[in-house]
Structure 1
Amino acid sequence: MTRKWADGSRALGKFDLPSQEQVYGELALEGYDSKLVLHDVKQEYYPGSTSSTVHGVVDHTVKLSLFDCILLSSQRSADAKGKVSDHRLEIFPHHILFGDSHVAEGDAIFTSIMFKFTDSINLFYDFDTFGIVLHRADSFIEPILAAKSEIGDRKIPVGEHPAIAYFTGKHTIVRVPTDLGVISAQNLPTTSIGGPHGSGFVNSIWVEVEFSSARTFNDALEATFALEPFFSMVAGRPQRFEEMRLLARTPVEPEAHSLKVFEVFSSMKQHLRFPLGRAPHPADVPIDPVRRPEEFSRVLVDWVNRVPAWRDARERYSNSLRKQDLLDIDRLVGSANMFDILPSSAVPEDVELSDELKVARDQSRELFRKLPDSPERSSILLELKRLGKSNLKNKVRYRAAPIVAAVGDKFPDLLWVLDEAVNCRNHYVHGALVSKVDYSAHFHDLGGFFTKSLEFVFAASDMVEAGWDIKAWASRSSTLSHPFFDYRHSYKEHLDVAKTLLGKKG
């Protein structure tokens, strides 16, 4: 399979529906606008009640498996006598597998999944793996050319200014066993064979997740999407899976252990609303798998271990990153709400009420239950139910505590800032009766600072809990290409503005 399937690709072929085989169709890959157009369909509706998967063949040999198909339109064309001449269907496939065999939705055959994402080169930046020798290259090139001359049976002369391009052969950058599977990052260079057009290496870095047991397509894809918040957090900007491949040991000849490669096209892969800003400089990435592999492995293992419980909150963080530099009210509210949907293990325990408070709560509950139903009655009953529960400020402070303990000198008055950020959020959510400042008039000065404070504490505390050495990070210099460093650099300036506007002394 030599053709690369990406946005802009077109193909003609034949497709099999649950109710009809060998239907001619045209496939167009255009992201959200991708579609399969089928002609001369005998049945009026598709998909059927039992399947949303379509199989087909394009380019004569490439076999397609289209998953999670949705019917977009169904049209009939008639000739002058009213006879139906063409029944045409338009279908939207969420995912397409390209390979040399068809795959059913329930086939658990995939042993690993590989993908490239937006900043994989920057996150797994191993500078010394590839290079070029210019100085004293003439001292090394003669034995290389002599060996090549023996193979080619002709002498290759050395020129006036020789140069040597090299690859050390280090394919595996890091390899980490996790609950999700063995996660590794790999150098996969392509080379030219030489000649007058030149020669050398063009590298791409792929991440692979090797599963402990074979997975279905949907399960393999789910594992990949679970890692997106991790890579986005480490990169400091939203990541998109640019290319994806699945490796499978097919059940056709199990005794031969035939390994097959499938290319994946996802129509709904993350399309960013805003242009991506500056890419992270490799030196600014908070965990470095090349220079600090132990720390990287430790953080990744723990982070993956908490995926089931933390997924909702982490996806909220990823959604915030996708807004890039847009710091609006919705982002502020969402950044605060991330803490509210953390699992109970990540926030402080509920407060134990005194006996007097319990009696007062229970008596009040009985009084309000006897009143006619109304929004006010429901609101009071809900608050009584929450009495003793950890509130949002407590949760945010709890998550910030390890950061303050380790690098509080870099972020003075951080707990006060976070309290005020929650006050601002409460104003826009609950309409707080009394505010120290007109938030709308000063949102440019306060809203962005509060939002970045909440996001920094959420992400940094997640990584600290996983084993990140934030103290070592705080001692390093930066090019300010990562939001963690940018927040640290501008913190005291924004803090002074906030203190002035909110009337805090000291």
Structure 2
Amino acid sequence: MSRDEEIVEGAKLGGRFDIGEARSVLGELSIRGTETMLYLHDADFFHVEDEHAECIRGTLHDRTKVTVLASAVRSSLGSATRYDESFSFAELMPAYIVSGNRHLSAEVAEITKVTFHIDDAEQVFYDFDAMGHVIDPRPLIEAVVAANERHIDRKIPTGPSPDIAYFAGRTELADVETAIGRVRVFHRPIPSHPLSTREVGMRNRTLVEICFVEPRLLAGTLDAVLSLLRFLGMLAGRPQNIDGIWLDTIGDDRAPPLDLYWTHPPRRPVAWEERSPHPSEILIPVVDEPEQFGTVLSRWLANDPVRLEARVRFASGFEQQRSFSIDRLVGAANMFDILPDDGFSTVAPLAADLLKAKALARGAFRALPNSPERSSVLNALGRLGRPTLRSKVHDRAALVSGALREPLVDLDLVTDEAVKCRNYYVHGSPGSFSYAENGDVVSFLTSALEFFFAASDLIDADWDIAAWRNRGSVLAHPFNRVLHDWDIYAAHIRALREGLPKKAEDEARATVAVCCA
């Protein structure tokens, strides 16, 4: 990777673009995030077919090759007259723009490796000793200067106040074989210009790389990136933005990678953004525990195909960060319902008398005319003997509580209330108390459901949650906030359910407010 991103926000890039049938026209790419536009024009009539909009290859005026992919056609054909000259034009809104010294195929799987940088990478992969300044450089400066003098063949004067900055030299942080390919994490220090006398130093980026077993198309490449992004977001405590992504292709081992500009990349909302991650709270300290990181990552990705729907549901709530809604609560509970059965303890078979009653009831209701009520009862009978949502949530929560080695108090109470709250908003079932008047409790129940889902998912992959918890907390990670608030909210929920006098309830509410301030 010899440069930063080729395509930058606000750029206008002109060139010629192929639109099929051996036809090329002039065009301009206007880079504006989600409003990025490819404007094509020519003196002669042309029409951009939908199939051609899937992949348009172009060459910019500076000879950079660009591949414009998955474009939505805003205007497939138009005409105008300016200064008595008529011309045709079309406007397209690309999903992806790939640039570099070659084009990317939209039909042939040729991507062998993808490398990307997430905005919290240097916290997620915190490496305190990677770079630094020599505390007392005076005894060392002569040796350093002498080494340079041998290469440049001239004398370098030294003085009484030298300063030496360094990169310690370890680039590799993790190297893991996974179901999606070989995942590497590494430092990429970039020194300042060697002839600069105004600024001398290094800028480091910690990059993530996936090397595929078999070449992939762009869509499959980005699927792998998104899977890994969901995992890294959990480690960090907030969704991750990608601020650079590069592609290597077949047969180009010595060529620089292609730059990918993603017009609609995964982007966490800023309105309710979580605070920046704190290195001490990253779920797995990658630099200190690379083996645990490798084990958990490998096993978590191996489970991804069968748990994908539930994990995507988790991610859609998690990305809302500090914004809580009823829909988020319902979604947090429903994650457990769409988790595969192998994620739960085995349910004991129904007793013989219950099986007999179930069969009799099913026969009686099947004999009735079709109606919503008949269907509802038959569906309920079909679920009899299978785990309920309440038992599923409790099962996963008990796994987390046990792994903490300090069991959570009133676990049954809190998980039961979470499901009751969900059922109230989905079915209108009676709640234990007024959820509208206790919005902070609803928010806590939502966070608790998300915590139990994600933490149990990681524990299945051999995550040591107790070791993480014992490292302490500054409440930067939402999982730590759930654990910090647990006892207070468990007591508050019990008080609400038992209908304590208003004074006692107000005191409990005040305690919650103080602890959450």
Q: Same fold (TM over 0.5)?
A: yes
From 26, 30, 33, give the equivalent of 2:32.
30
Letter in 2 for 1:142: E
Task: Give unmatched runs, 5+ long, in structure 2.
Answer: 501-517
From 258, 264, 267, give the equivalent of 2:263.
267
Aligned-pair CA distance for 1:49: 4.1
Alpha-carbon contact 1:250-1:260 (below 8 Å) kept: no
Per the alignment, residue 443 of structure 2 pairs with: 448
Alpha-carbon contact 1:27-1:36 (below 8 Å) kept: yes
Which secondary structure state, in structure 1, belongs to the residue aligned with residue 71 of structure 2? Answer: strand
Greater mean deviation of Cα atoms: 149-158 or 230-239:
149-158
Deviations along 1:107-156, whole A, 9 cap, x unmatched? 22222100011211101111111111132x11011011012122222211
Q: Distance in 2 between the 1:49 and 1:216 partners?
A: 17
Q: Distance in 2 between the 1:2 and 1:392 partners?
A: 49
Per the alignment, residue 321 of structure 2 pairs with: 324
Cα 1:389–1:2, aligned 2, differ >3 Å: closer, same or farther?
Answer: closer
1:62 aligns with 2:64: yes
Aligned-pair CA distance for 1:258: 4.9
Cα 1:373–1:85, aligned 2, differ >3 Å: closer, same or farther?
Answer: farther
Letter in 2 for 1:242: D
Letter in 2 for 1:12: G
Per the alignment, residue 339 of structure 2 pairs with: 342
Alpha-carbon contact 1:178-1:301 (below 8 Å) kept: yes
Counting only pairs closer than 5 Å after superposition, residues 140-151 of structure 1 correspond to structure 2 as 140-151=140-151
Q: Distance in 1 between the 2:499 and 2:299 partners?
A: 39
From 369, 374, 380, give the equivalent of 2:377.
380
Per the alignment, residue 432 of structure 2 pairs with: 436
Aligned-pair CA distance for 1:18: 2.1
What's the % identity of the aligned pairs? 34
Greater mean deviation of Cα atoms: 347-356 or 258-267:
347-356
Deviations along 1:52-101, whole A, 9 cap, x unmatched? 11111113311111121221123533559xx9922221111111111111
Which secondary structure state, in structure 1, belongs to the residue aligned with residue 58 of structure 2? Answer: strand
Per the alignment, residue 160 of structure 1 pairs with: 160
Q: TM-score, normalised by structure 2?
A: 0.91
Per the alignment, residue 9 of structure 2 pairs with: 7
Aligned-pair CA distance for 1:160: 1.9
Per the alignment, residue 490 of structure 2 pairs with: 495
Deviations along 1:445-481, whole A, 9 cap, x unmatched? x101101111111111111111111122222212211
Alpha-carbon contact 1:74-1:87 (below 8 Å) kept: no
Aligned-pair CA distance for 1:44: 6.0
- Between the two proteins, the alignment pairs up a number of residues equal to 496
Q: Distance in 2 between the 1:45 and 1:440 partners?
A: 56
Cα 1:408–1:389, aligned 2, differ >3 Å: closer, same or farther?
Answer: same
Aligned-pair CA distance for 1:336: 0.6
Per the alignment, residue 254 of structure 1 pairs with: none
Greater mean deviation of Cα atoms: 148-157 or 287-296:
148-157
Aligned-pair CA distance for 1:319: 1.4
Alpha-carbon contact 2:77-2:89 (below 8 Å) kept: yes
Alpha-carbon contact 2:114-2:246 (below 8 Å) kept: yes
Alpha-carbon contact 2:53-2:72 (below 8 Å) kept: no
Q: Distance in 2 between the 1:323 and 1:49 partners?
A: 36
Counting only pairs closer than 5 Å after superposition, residues 242-281 of structure 1 correspond to structure 2 as 242-250=243-251, 258-275=254-271, 276-281=273-278
Which secondary structure state, in structure 2, belongs to the residue aligned with residue 127 of structure 1? Answer: coil
Which secondary structure state, in structure 2, belongs to the residue aligned with residue 38 of structure 1? Answer: strand
Letter in 2 for 1:5: I
Which secondary structure state, in structure 1, belongs to the residue aligned with residue 379 of structure 2? Answer: helix
Deviations along 1:276-316, whole A, 9 cap, x unmatched? 33111111111011011121111111111111011111112
Per the alignment, residue 242 of structure 2 pairs with: 241
Per the alignment, residue 175 of structure 2 pairs with: 175
1:90 aligns with 2:85: no
Greater mean deviation of Cα atoms: 403-412 or 474-483:
403-412
Q: Distance in 1 between the 2:384 and 2:445 partners?
A: 27
Deviations along 1:197-251, whole A, 9 cap, x unmatched? 1311110111001112222222222211111210111111011211100112338
Deviations along 1:187-206, whole A, 9 cap, x unmatched? 11111115321311110111
Deviations along 1:331-356, whole A, 9 cap, x unmatched? 11111111111112112345522333
Which secondary structure state, in structure 1, belongs to the residue aligned with residue 493 of structure 2? Answer: helix
Q: TM-score, normalised by structure 1?
A: 0.93
Which secondary structure state, in structure 1, belongs to the residue aligned with residue 24 of structure 2? Answer: strand
Cα 1:6–1:344, aligned 2, differ >3 Å: closer, same or farther?
Answer: farther
Alpha-carbon contact 1:19-1:43 (below 8 Å) kept: no
Q: Distance in 2 between the 1:8 and 1:239 partners?
A: 23
Letter in 1 for 2:270: F
Q: Distance in 1 between the 2:368 and 2:209 partners?
A: 60
Cα 1:52–1:345, aligned 2, differ >3 Å: closer, same or farther?
Answer: same
Letter in 2 for 1:179: A
Cα 1:458–1:218, aligned 2, differ >3 Å: closer, same or farther?
Answer: same
Aligned-pair CA distance for 1:42: 5.9
Counting only pairs closer than 5 Å after superposition, residues 115-126 of structure 1 correspond to structure 2 as 115-126=116-127
Q: Distance in 2 between the 1:150 and 1:78 partners?
A: 67
The Cα RMSD (Å) is 2.3
Alpha-carbon contact 2:134-2:164 (below 8 Å) kept: yes
Cα 1:225–1:63, aligned 2, differ >3 Å: closer, same or farther?
Answer: same
1:333 aligns with 2:335: no
Per the alignment, residue 190 of structure 1 pairs with: 190
From 470, 473, 491, give the equivalent of 1:478.
473
Q: Distance in 1 between the 2:34 and 2:53 partners?
A: 22
Counting only pairs closer than 5 Å after superposition, residues 363-402 of structure 1 correspond to structure 2 as 363-402=360-399
